[in-house]
Chain A
Amino acid sequence: MSSISRRDFNKLLLAGSAGVAFGVFGSGSQGFAAQKRVVVIGGGFGGAATAKYLKKLDPSITVTLVEPKAAYATCPFSNWVLADLRTMPQITQTYSALAHRHGIKVIGDTATAIDPVKGTVTLKGGRTLGYDRLVVSPGIDFKWSAIEGYSQALAESKMPHAYQAGVQTQLLHKQLHAMKDGGTVLICPPANPFRCPPGPYERASLVAHYLKKKKPNSKVIILDPKEKFSKQGLFTKGWQRLYPGMIEWRGATTGGKILSVDGAAMTVKTDLGEVKGDVINIIPPQKAGQIAFTAGLTDESGWCPVNPMSFESTIHKNIHVIGDACKAGAMPKSGFAASSQGKVAAAAIVMLLRGQEPAPPSLVNTCYSLVGTDYGISVAGVYQFTANGIVEIPGSGGLTPIDASDDQLAQEAMFAEGWYTNIVRDIWG
């Protein structure tokens, strides 16, 4: 690995402290009379965290948050809703604390265009906002035409994705509850990369949790184009222990690859034949949110390349892209990662607006998954920025041990709940 080693890092640190006049840093905020304006597009995990931490780190900055939804349902814990372990109101966040307690201007609108040269954002409602720095955190959009027979209309009627929480979660919940005992639920995740790599498998677990209690003759089949998946060993062990015979996973070589779907017949065609489902959850392939494309922030991958020091776009200056929409190396597309990136971007923007260089980033992720009510598992990662981009720090992070005791698993389930309580307060509270 050709990264900057810790030794080099320390050498640079020493060189810096010996050789640079400290006066550079002494100019302070009073030196900048003009109010600096930062606009944030998107009030999800990434955008809301950035807005809040910008204000926290430098209250003199004017921060405007543009988000069309007045109430944001979190994807984290939306799988819990499917199993009646949470209600929709319990996973719904609002912007009132950000507006009233933290002094952020919250605008309920959608950004439709960005002019990176003039430094302006145009809103659907007709307003134009000027910025010194812009943060773009629009999350994901779906590739509707990637699967033959599938469409947005089908997702909104018969085959919900439930991969943006809200009405989609409610639709899938309704279908699961209406299903007869003995039915089959198909869960069809996409290939990598996609939002929340353990998400479809936590979903399979919690759907099975619900079925075991209410419709014990039913089953869940996962049709997966991948050869392996996130936390696979831990999930598989949990399924055997809690839901024996209920969850079947078919991978790339065992008929998991979807060729087409038929909404009228409620079938999914794979390379090994047709599978019928009573409830069909298609999670389509994804790309960065639309505004990232409109603004020319994406590359050929469909995601946004950034400089990990500050998450500034490598395509357009003064625009930072964070969260699921950006390419963040080894970091997964998770809410935790999006908020961690948001904090790094906020700290960097505060420095950059003062004409100073940001401190090296520190990035973290923890994703809990619930396999059953007293059965939690997790994956953690601590990341550094090297010449190879964002990489995991060797020796750190990793999974819940495969031989974790029941006590540990129960503790992780409690910590999952504790995590949710704290992170939503950290971002929207």
Chain B
Amino acid sequence: MPSYLQASLVAGMVAAASVTCSSQGYGASTAAGVNPRGQVLSLSCAGCHGTDGKSASIIPSIYGKSAEYIESALKDFKSGARVSTVMARHAKGYSDEEIHLIAEYFGSVGKKTGKTGGRK
């Protein structure tokens, strides 16, 4: 692997590891304790489920669901225990650890109050 990629990946992992100290460092709109890696993983979900997981359509909302619920739903999609059209194909792209981070992120977004949760 080219060394610049290696270097930036290592640095990236270090940033990802800063779970416990990311609150000031990562921006005014992220809640205290938000893991940047969890956030980056979770931003993708909005492409179908809406900003912060708030759906305005037939696609289910993630917003407001508990971390436990999201984690078990994603794991069930991944294993096939829960039948889906497209979710299994997505869930299979994430390790259990990543699923945990995504669940933690949406669990915390739903609990936030104030104007940082996106529209309405």
Contacts and interface: CB of A to CB of B under 8 A. Distances in A.
B55 to A, nearest CB: 6
Interface string A1-35: 01010100110111111001010011111000000
Contacts of A92: none
B33 to A, nearest CB: 13
A175 interface: no
B89 A396 contact: yes
A309 B9 contact: yes
Interface in B1-56: 1-2, 4-5, 8-22, 24-30, 36-37, 39-41, 43-51, 55-56
Nearest to A421: B57
B90 interface: yes
B79 interface: no
B40 A364 contact: no
A165 B25 CA distance: 41
A12 B17 CA distance: 9
A357 B85 contact: no
A28 B86 CA distance: 39
B16 A13 contact: yes
Given A362-B44, A385-B9, A418 B57 contact: yes
Contact of A58 (B11, B27, B36): B27
A16 B16 contact: yes
A137 interface: no
A59 B86 contact: no
Contacts of B92: 382, 393, 395-397
Given A13-B13, A387-B2, A397-B89, A415 B27 contact: no
B14 A20 contact: yes
Contacts, number: 201
Interface in B63-98: 85-86, 89-90, 92-95, 97
Contact of A362 (B18, B24, B26, B40): B40
Contacts of A272: none
Interface residues of B, number: 56
A77 B2 CA distance: 40
Given A340-B44, A359-B36, A408-B85, A57 B29 contact: yes
B85 A12 contact: no
B9 A360 contact: yes
Contact of A12 (B9, B46, B55): B9
B59 A418 contact: yes
A351 B22 CA distance: 11
A303 to B, nearest CB: 19
A385 to B, nearest CB: 7
B40 to A, nearest CB: 5
Nearest to A363: B44
Interface stretch (A80-88, A143-151, A221-229, A342-350): A342-350
Q: Which of B22, B51, B97 has the most CB of A within 10 A?
A: B51
B37 to A, nearest CB: 5
A16 B19 CA distance: 11
Q: Which of B11, B56, B119 has the most CB of A within 10 A?
A: B11
Contacts of B14: 16-17, 20, 357
A103 to B, nearest CB: 12
A414 B20 CA distance: 41
A359 B11 CA distance: 8
Contacts of A22: 18, 20-21
B40 A57 contact: no
A58 B40 contact: no
A18 to B, nearest CB: 9
B64 to A, nearest CB: 16
Interface string A348-390: 0011001011111111101000000000001011110111000
24 contacts: A6-B95, A10-B97, A22-B18, A25-B21, A29-B24, A29-B28, A53-B43, A307-B4, A307-B5, A343-B40, A343-B43, A357-B15, A359-B39, A362-B43, A364-B44, A364-B90, A366-B86, A382-B90, A397-B90, A415-B48, A418-B55, A418-B57, A422-B55, A422-B57
Listed from nearest, the 6 A-B pairs whose CB atoms lie closest are A382-B93, A396-B93, A387-B1, A357-B11, A28-B24, A418-B57
Given A2-B1, A13-B13, A397-B89, 13 more contacts: A16-B10, A22-B18, A26-B24, A29-B28, A307-B5, A358-B15, A382-B90, A396-B89, A400-B85, A422-B50, A423-B47, A425-B50, A426-B46
Interface of B: 1-2, 4-5, 8-22, 24-30, 36-37, 39-41, 43-51, 55-59, 85-86, 89-90, 92-95, 97, 118-119
